[in-house]
Amino acid sequence: MKKYRLSELTAGEIRRLCQRNPIDDEEIVSVCRFIFQAVAEKGDEAVRSFTLQFDGVEIDEFRVGADAINEAVQETAPEVMTALQQAAANIRKFHSAQQIPEKPVETQPGVTCWRASRAISPIGIYVPGGTAVLPSTVLMLGIPARLAGCARIILCVPPDSEGKVSPEVLAAAQIAGIRQIFKVGGAQAIAAMTFGTESIPQVEKIFGPGNRYVQTAKLLATFHGVAIDMVAGPSEVLVIADETASAEFVASDLISQAEHGGDSRVVLVSTSEKLIEDVLGELHKQAAGLPRENYVQASLSEGLALLAESLDEAFDFSNRYAPEHLILNVDDPRQYQGLIQSAGSVFIGPWSPEVAGDYASGTNHTLPTSGMARAYSGVSMDSFVKKITFQELTPEGLRSLAPTLEALARIESLEGHRRAVSIRIEKLDEDESDG
Amino acid sequence: MKKYRLSELTAGEIRRLCQRNPIDDEEIVSVCRFIFQAVAEKGDEAVRSFTLQFDGVEIDEFRVGADAINEAVQETAPEVMTALQQAAANIRKFHSAQQIPEKPVETQPGVTCWRASRAISPIGIYVPGGTAVLPSTVLMLGIPARLAGCARIILCVPPDSEGKVSPEVLAAAQIAGIRQIFKVGGAQAIAAMTFGTESIPQVEKIFGPGNRYVQTAKLLATFHGVAIDMVAGPSEVLVIADETASAEFVASDLISQAEHGGDSRVVLVSTSEKLIEDVLGELHKQAAGLPRENYVQASLSEGLALLAESLDEAFDFSNRYAPEHLILNVDDPRQYQGLIQSAGSVFIGPWSPEVAGDYASGTNHTLPTSGMARAYSGVSMDSFVKKITFQELTPEGLRSLAPTLEALARIESLEGHRRAVSIRIEKLDEDESDG
């Protein structure tokens, strides 16, 4: 961990500490453009050849059959099925509560406006393979999608070296109610869902994590009218801790983040110099011998341990950093809620490790990274619907709004707009004088 | 208008009719990349030189002074001020109702999760100049931004040939409560708000309409971590009308859309061949002599007049097309609300012209175009906030969730995740045996 005293840093130095993971990499963009063009032109044939090239495996049939899904569920250990089901139940409960119907609003007499939600369909979910099997991501995206009413859900997962998908991922898909699963990964999966191929359907919105190629491909997809959840960079945690925090707990939270990969970001901000030293000692102890110790060490060596003069200064830095995960390990933590301006998800107090939200408390783990929490929210029910506005005016409503509409049309020099109103008012006048 | 009978079109032909305005134009992308690079490197100097090149005017001081804003308010006709204020009041009323607080959810005993909104700040609003002065857009974006609590709002408007901004735009900004106004337009305005320059602040999210350069620049901004509202293409309307509709009203709505520009899209879908003929006659009559007749004619010549066998077929086409604006001019229109899957904003019945929503009914006029209504919503209060999830577990909550968390960490081979839980459970066990 790199140690700094916040009060000794200049504004520019703080800005640099907060900068991370630029996505604008020309080389990756041009590789992704090439893949997009090939998939747009050649469909399955191109996807097959990129799969051979990048995943090292030949795939004839991308779609995972119903038999394979059923087998996977049989193969999955009962305690894993139970865990997936409990996680699913909590995710369902938290996300259901986000569906709040809105009432129509009469903005002025005779002018009624309202909004209604409609599910987006088809949608595409991307779940990475690589160094970790991620059934939790299948639940985090699949469950709210089903709750929102997305009629068609496409899941793409890269095949392993034997051309298979892990049984737990398939079991999670079964629990989430996803049946269209395709063995395809990387930028070619995103391209396939953007354009559609002979076997992989075109979708309206693409969700999910992935490496820089996948994320850049998602950005390119937006140029073709496909929406995306967000660009997801490496995972991050920022812990704010005071002298009352347990160094053991804090170290375990930093490590659980660091083990995601060498590019994971871990930041500790504390008002206690002693706590920082204790945490550093604990990190050393706890990291030793972990199966993914190499990732942990790589990530920790780039980590930040920041001494703050006050909790205000700590929250101020955290808001600038806008971490994906923010853990509050301070005395009476709830009182600081209002100070938090930018973060993906917040974990309050010593008994709320980030792992709870990663898996099973009910909140979504698809969260803004790389400082994007300044402007983006994590995935929620909102992500799977579009909200349509409606309005209905009565003749009286239109009449009372007409002078305003006509005046504004006039300033904007849009005579046709003005006439769409005046033609109706003339009709109302006629009808009245007839009556 | 091009006439077709929907039942005679193949699926491929319908798809082609629904395709419009691809944004992936290599040449525009490369111009915008060039502008971005120059502004990133040279700041104001580059912005000044692009302004001279594209707007034909030298601007020393981009910021519009408080005096100029006050003067503009004085200059604006009283009936225009009244109209802007009535529009503002309705927009405020409709958008306020979208702020619905969410309750915490106890997903299982001792596990409490909730969401809270935080305003995004600073934000940037872009309002185009060009062929129309658009104070209404200032209200549509500025009012919800202020309501949401965005602390800093930057407004960029291209200067006219005299280096000025129209007084009505400044008056609307005053009503919306926007004070930081800059005379800068085009891709250079978007680049300036993306990187920040000596005089123009960097923002977290950019909103607003504009030509293809502006929209492509907004997409590029997302590569630099800046969020955008959406990519906005040319404006569109689709009218569904049956034999009860007034051909005069329908024609006036199509024309009010067509006058936005030659690339505006107008579509009529009707179950009545007679109505279609009557509307075509009315279009001819109403278009003649309009100040923007050239735009109207250009747009109408590319417009679609589609005969449907049934209203179901009409709604089916409309959902595929996903129009920005959808007008229902049919008998008892409210009953068809449920059939609408994809549209930006819907206008119900003969007394609800699109113009009402364009200006003053209260709904937002910043809406998804080019088929993006399949996945995107129009601008709303949601657009100006991010929602942060929070969670707090009690020791008992963590204990009951622990087996699930540990089982999932095990399948994902994340031992550090598992230990962040087990280390806490061990502590609880110790404390208990101590107690």
ipTM: 0.95
Is B26 a residue whose pLDDT tops 90? no
pLDDT tens-digit readout, B200-220: 999 999 999 998 999 999 989
Query: Is B330 inside any structural domain?
Result: yes
- The answer to whether residue B367 is domain-embedded is no
Q: Are residues A322 and A411 in the same domain?
A: no
Percentage of chain B exceeding pLDDT 70: 98
Which of B362, B377, B417 shows the shortest C-beta gap to A107?
B362
Residues A133 and A184 in one domain: yes
Catalytic residue flag (residue A396):
no
In a domain, B12, yes or no: yes
> Catalytic: A284?
no
At B139 the pLDDT is: 97
Q: What is the percentage of chain B residues whose pLDDT exceeds 90?
A: 89
Distance CA B394, CA B292 (A): 66
Domain boundary among A230, A246, A262: A230
- Looking at A202, A230, A258, which one is the last position of a domain? A230
What pLDDT does B132 receive? 65
Q: Tell me, yes or no, whether B417 lies in a domain.
A: yes
For residue A311, what is the domain's CATH number?
3.40.50.1980
Summarised one tens digit per residue, pLDDT across range A184-218 is 999 999 999 999 999 999 999 999 999 899 999 99
Let me know whether B212 and B76 are in one domain: yes
Q: Is the dihedral of CA B102, B108, B112, B113 positive or negative?
A: negative
Q: Which of A349, A355, A407 sits opposite B79 (nearest CB)?
A: A407
A385 assigned to some structural domain: no
Instruction: State whether A213 and A324 are in the same domain.
Output: no
Which residue in the list B324, B365, B392, B430 is annotated as catalytic? B324
Asked whether residue A371 is assigned to any structural domain, the reply reads no
Q: B401 and B121 in contact (C-beta within 8 Å)?
A: no
Most B CBs within 10 Å, among A354, A381, A386, to test the B interface: A386
The size of the A-B interface in CB pairs under 8 A is: 417
**A214 and A249 share a domain?**
no
Pairing between β-strand A111-119 and β-strand A105-108 as defined by DSSP bridges: antiparallel
Per-residue confidence (pLDDT) for residue B168, from 0 to 100: 93
Task: Name the CA dihedral angle for B100, B101, B102, B103, rounded to a multiple of 10 degrees.
Answer: -140
A71 and A124 part of one domain: yes
CA–CA min distance B183, chain A (Å): 19
What pLDDT is stored for residue A24 in this prediction?
63
Query: How confident is residue A129, by pLDDT bands cut at 50, 70 and 90?
Result: confident
A88 and A206 in a common domain = yes
Per residue in B138-155, pLDDT tens?
999 999 999 999 999 999
pLDDT at B432: 86
Cβ separation B83–A416 shorter than 8 A: no
One domain for residues B136 and B88: yes
pLDDT band (50, 70, 90) for residue A223: confident
Same domain, B299 and B356: yes
Q: Which long-range contacts (CB under 8 A, 24 or more apart) does B175-178 make?
A: B175/B81, B175/B84, B175/B85, B175/B88, B175/B139, B176/B88, B176/B138, B176/B139, B176/B142, B176/B143, B176/B145, B176/B146, B177/B142, B177/B146, B177/B153, B178/B125, B178/B138, B178/B142, B178/B146, B178/B153
pTM for this predicted structure? 0.94
B41 or A433: whose pLDDT is higher? B41
Contact at CB, B420 and A255, closer than 8 angstroms: yes
Contact present, A140 and A364 (Cβ < 8 Å): yes
- Catalytic entry in A95, A168, A260, A325: A325
Q: pLDDT at position A233, please?
A: 86
pLDDT at A433: 86
Residues B208 and B335 in one domain: no
Looking at the domain assignment, is residue B98 inside a domain? yes
Q: Residue B75: pLDDT band by 50, 70, 90 thresholds?
A: very high
Do the Cβ atoms of A120 and B374 come closer than 8 Å? yes
Is residue A389 situated within a structural domain?
A: no
Cβ distance B255 to B286 under 8 Å? yes
- The minimal CB distance from B93 to the residues A105, A377, A414 is found for A105
Are A63 and A165 in the same domain? yes
Host domain of residue A398: 394-434
Cβ-defined contact of A390 to B364 (cutoff 8 Å): no
pLDDT of residue B165: 92
Number of domains in chain A: 3
Give the residue on B whose Cα is nearest the Cα of A329: B392
Query: Is B213 found in the same domain as B265?
Result: no
Contact A102 B100 (CB under 8 A): yes
Which of B230, B257, B287 is the last residue before a domain boundary? B230
Do the Cβ atoms of B276 and B2 come closer than 8 Å? no
- Is B174 a residue whose pLDDT tops 70? yes
